[in-house]
């Protein structure tokens, strides 16, 4: 409930991250919504400007499907344009689980002519747990095994998770 300029009941609030592409893929734009639901959180994403899928070769990693994670820090500074968004730090992992079981490990995004839309339920967190962290879209699919971050490649886009409204 919003009273006197303050939210007094965060359980009913939603959060959002506006994701924008960095120097490796400036075309990316999107929104990730977080909504508390019974037993967890509903996450939905709509993104445009993703590269088209390109399978890996003996010498090059694939492009897409795209790793999609919550990262520890809510910082989307580009920093090094060849390796952007490093200030977001690693995957959010509040219970120190091996990779593939991090609270911040999300399903990969599939590019459909540059666009991805997806929604899923997670019982790993509530909305208030992730406000102030960041969403990162990576160039490669997450293998959910390699420690600590799944070998997802370069960081293409970033958005800070903030309270909606």
Q: Is the peptide bond before 130 cis (omega within 30 degrees of 0)?
A: no
* Mean pLDDT for the stretch of residues 143-154: 75
Close Cβ partners of 59 (under 8 Å, ≥ 6 residues apart): none
Q: How confident is the model at residue 58 (pLDDT cuts 50, 70, 90)?
A: very high
Q: Give SS3 for 155.
A: strand
Q: Looking at residue 158, what is its pLDDT? A: 98
* Mean pLDDT for the stretch of residues 68-97: 95
d(CA 9, CA 75): 26
Q: Looking at residue 2, what is its pLDDT? A: 46
Beta partners for residue 157, in sequence order: 21, 137
14-21 vs 29-37, strand pairing mode: antiparallel
Q: Give SS3 for 86.
A: helix
* Mean pLDDT for the stretch of residues 115-125: 96
Structure tokens at 90: 């690693």
d(CA 84, CA 28): 14
Structural domains of the chain ordered from first start: 11-53+62-163 (2.60.40.200)
User: Has residue 35 got a pLDDT over 60?
Assistant: yes
d(CA 15, CA 128): 8
Question: pTM higher than 0.85 for the full model?
Answer: yes
The alpha-helical segments, DSSP class H, found in 93-160 are 127-130
């Amino acid at each position: 409930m919003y009273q006197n300029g303050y939210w007094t009941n965060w359980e009913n609030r939603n959060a959002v991250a506006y994701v924008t592409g960095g120097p490796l893929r400036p075309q990316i734009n999107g929104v990730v919504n977080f909504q508390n639901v019974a037993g967890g959180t509903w996450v939905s994403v709509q993104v445009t400007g993703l590269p088209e899928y390109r399978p890996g070769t003996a010498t090059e990693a694939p492009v897409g499907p795209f790793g999609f994670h919550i990262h520890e820090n809510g910082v989307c500074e580009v920093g090094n344009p060849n390796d952007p968004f490093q200030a977001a730090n690693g995957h959010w992992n509040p219970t120190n689980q091996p990779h593939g079981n991090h609270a911040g490990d999300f399903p990969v995004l599939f590019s459909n002519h540059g666009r991805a839309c997806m929604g899923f339920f997670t019982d790993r967190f509530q909305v208030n747990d992730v406000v102030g962290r960041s969403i990162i879209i990576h160039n490669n699919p997450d293998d959910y095994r390699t420690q600590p971050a799944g070998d997802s490649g370069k960081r293409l886009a970033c958005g800070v998770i903030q309270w909606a409204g």
